[in-house]
């Protein structure tokens, strides 16, 4: 009886030990990202290479009207709101299709690696066009997409201005 009770509790103990080890790893990673200056340690933060004007345009195309407060929206002309919303929707479409292309490329490579040129998979490789109706819910971090890559894509598509990198 005692042994049976121990066997029921054992997975919970192992799970909590695993969670504790994961927490220790996260803390060690966090603590290793510090610099020492005159005996004091300071957290090192990533520096955004873009200036406020560039970040404003980036956020406006990425978030649309959501980046504005209700007071700002009340003062903003309706035509400007429609223009911002149109650019936002186009940006979301371009980024969604781009994420689909990356996902398709990744899965095709994985299938080729594991299954080779198997005839069963031929229909999958022939039909690899992104679908504008499908919403890719993978986030940029999981796909390995950085802010710089997004900006380069949006400048290339004409969503952000061609002189984006020289804006002040």
- Report CA-CA distances (Å) from 43 to 11, 29, 30, 32: 37, 12, 9, 9
Q: Among 130, 60, 59, which Cα is nearest to 99's?
A: 130
The tens-digit pLDDT sequence of the chain (168 residues) is 454 544 455 455 555 656 677 767 766 666 555 665 666 666 666 778 899 999 999 999 999 999 999 999 999 999 999 999 999 999 999 999 999 999 888 888 887 888 877 777 777 777 778 989 999 999 999 999 999 999 999 999 999 999 999 998
What is the distance between the alpha carbons of residues 168 and 164, in angstroms, rounded to a whole number? 9
Strand partners, 40: 37
What is the distance between the alpha carbons of residues 67 and 91, in angstroms, rounded to a whole number? 15
Full-prediction pTM beyond 0.75? no
What is the distance between the alpha carbons of residues 94 and 159, in angstroms, rounded to a whole number? 9
């Amino acid at each position: 009886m005692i042994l049976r009770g121990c066997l029921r509790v054992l997975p919970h103990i192992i799970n909590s030990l695993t969670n504790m080890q994961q927490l220790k790893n996260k803390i060690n990673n966090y603590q290793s990202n510090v610099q020492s200056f005159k005996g004091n340690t300071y957290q090192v933060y990533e520096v955004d290479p873009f200036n406020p004007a560039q970040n404003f345009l980036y956020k406006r195309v990425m978030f649309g009207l959501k980046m504005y407060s209700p007071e700002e929206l009340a003062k903003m002309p309706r035509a400007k709101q429609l223009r911002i919303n149109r650019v936002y929707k186009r940006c979301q479409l371009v980024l969604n299709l781009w994420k689909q292309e990356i996902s398709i490329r990744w899965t095709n490579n994985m299938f080729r690696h594991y299954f080779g040129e198997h005839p069963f998979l031929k229909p999958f490789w022939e039909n690899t066009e992104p679908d504008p109706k499908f919403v890719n819910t993978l986030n940029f971090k999981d796909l390995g997409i950085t802010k710089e890559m997004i900006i380069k894509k949006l400048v290339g598509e004409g969503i952000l201005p061609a002189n984006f990198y020289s804006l002040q």
